Amino acid sequence: MKGRSLRLLLLLCGMLGLAFSVAMAAGERIRPAAVAGSWYPDEPRQLTGLLDRFLAQAPAPTEEGLVRALISPHAGYTFSGATAAVGFRQVQGHAYRRVVVLGPAHRGGFDGLSIADVTHYQTPLGRIPLDQGAVAQLRRSPLVTSDPAAHTSEHSIEMQLPFLQRVLPGGWQLVPILVGRMGADDYRRAAVLLRPLLDEQTLLVVSSDFTHYGPRYGYVPFPHDTKTPSRLKALDEGALDRILAKDADGFLDYVERTGITICGFGPIAILTHWLQSQPRIQGQLLRYATSGELTGDFETSVSYLSVVFREGPSPAEVESGEGFLSDADMRLLHRLASAAVSVAANPGDRKAKHRLETLLSQVPPSLQRPAGAFVTLNRQGQLRGCIGYIAPREPVYQAVVNNAISAARRDPRFVPLGPDELDGLELEVSVLSPARPVASYHDIALGRDGIILEKDGHSAVFLPEVPTEFGWDLEQTLDHLTRKAGLPPGAWREGASFKTFRTQTVTAPLE
């Protein structure tokens, strides 16, 4: 009996040894899941069910154009899973050949970029092979290293992988990159290094949460009170505006100036540098959420954004008229703004609410593309409110509705609009083309170009019609613009940078 048992044991050991030798012969080196079972379920069926519920609740894509990149949060799925799902829903079913994931190193102490020395990443849903050719190409750069300690328990890359496994058809390979300590010029160098890999068959996923607020994170830029949620949103939107404008230097300056605790600011800086070489790719905010909303306590809160970057018409094509809005589109935007202002001024008006809901159900695809927009209210020839934003944060119809409500109720220069002021109110809706840098203020065409001035962390904007309305020449316009930015007149002459944009505008009485 003992002999038989010994033979069985030797046979079993031999089989195990054979399996081990095959794995070694194949050269497989696995990076196991580090936070499964804590940050997300480690049981495959439970994990699949959770991901599918998140994805089923996410809106279906309404935009055309190939998705080239995402910004996705990486907190525990309980907190950020629903927000992440909105982004991954945009690529569900698309067959990419490669996925590059850029994540911040929360614990690593290395310089540059680090790629784990493995052949596969493991999650409860299976193994993901690395694109060894792409990794070998990247390792030729002195910017790329491998810091084993940084990868051992890091979650920023791992949290994206189960979603990718669930939404993408099989066959894709992974390039997982942690971003460590880098100088301003290193972010540009990293973008240049990645550019050959980021073709139309590659999806770039940038893993980052946004503001970490509260004593726990050592960041309390304003006191905890009833205004904390709106202040957090404004802080995050300041960073988002620079990302959507593809302003890498402006984004890094904003991070330094505000101290905003965006853990993935390094990966985002690389993204924005890469976007500068991609004029056809435009970004759009899909969802904004905070942990404070979920817990009901904003004393400690983390912000989560889902942002998509699609390839569409270039700014030059938009300026030339291709893809710009028709007269019918502009009239519909004015009707949407009118209905939104009516609801904002009189929330109890059921007729106005029904009209707004009906108009929203009629929005065509042409108004679902992201664009910057302003809504201006005038009454009896006097300004009564003006709110807008330049960067294309959201679909243009939604931007117009949101800005119309804000112009009526949230312009800090005025008290909220009342129902008795609707009579005689005039609305101006302006849709903006993407902003483009100009070499000098001499390149600005008054009356045609909207102007953005930036200097020493200060910025201000004028719509194209502002100097025409006041009869200003170029120097007077720039003096007034610098005052608006909080700078002395003439400060625009040295050290200032300028961007211009064009608008389509419709002005008519409230409908």
Domain ranges of the chain: 26-312, 327-433, 436-504
> In this predicted structure, what is the pLDDT of residue 321?
45
% of the chain surpassing 90 pLDDT: 73
Q: What is the pLDDT of residue 14?
A: 35
Per-residue model confidence (pLDDT) at position 4: 42
Residue 454 CA to chain centroid, in angstroms?
22
Amino acid sitting at position 95: A
Residue 394 has a pLDDT of: 86
The answer to whether 303 touches 367, Cβ cutoff 8 Å, is no
What pLDDT score does 5 carry? 40
CATH of segment(s) 26-312: 3.40.830.10
Confidence at residue 433, expressed as pLDDT on a 0 to 100 scale: 85
- CA-CA-CA-CA dihedral for 10, 15, 17, 23, to nearest 10: -170
Kindly report the CATH class assigned to 327-433.
alpha beta
CB 58 within 8 A of CB 67: no
**What is the per-residue pLDDT for 324?**
66
* Prediction pTM value: 0.67
| 23 contacts: CB under 8 Å, gap ≥ 6 | none
- Name the token pair of 93: 């079913």
Question: Can you say how many angstroms the Cα of residue 83 is from the centroid of all Cα atoms in its chain?
Answer: 12
- Residue ranges in the chain whose pLDDT is less than 50: 1-25, 320-323
User: What is the spatial distance between Cα 226 and Cα 245, in angstroms, rounded to a whole number?
Assistant: 30
- 60 sits in the region (left: phi over 0; alpha: psi -120 to 50; else beta) called beta
Second CATH level (architecture) for the domain 436-504:
2-Layer Sandwich (3.30)
CB burial string 245-257: b at 16+ within 10 A, e below = bbbbbbbbbbbee
Find residue 503's DSSP bridge partners: 432
**3-state percent helix, strand, coil for the chain, nearest multiple of 5:** 40, 25, 35
26-312 and 436-504 have identical folds: no
Using alpha carbons, select from 283, 294, 292 the residue that is nearest to residue 231: 292
Residue 470, pLDDT score:
87
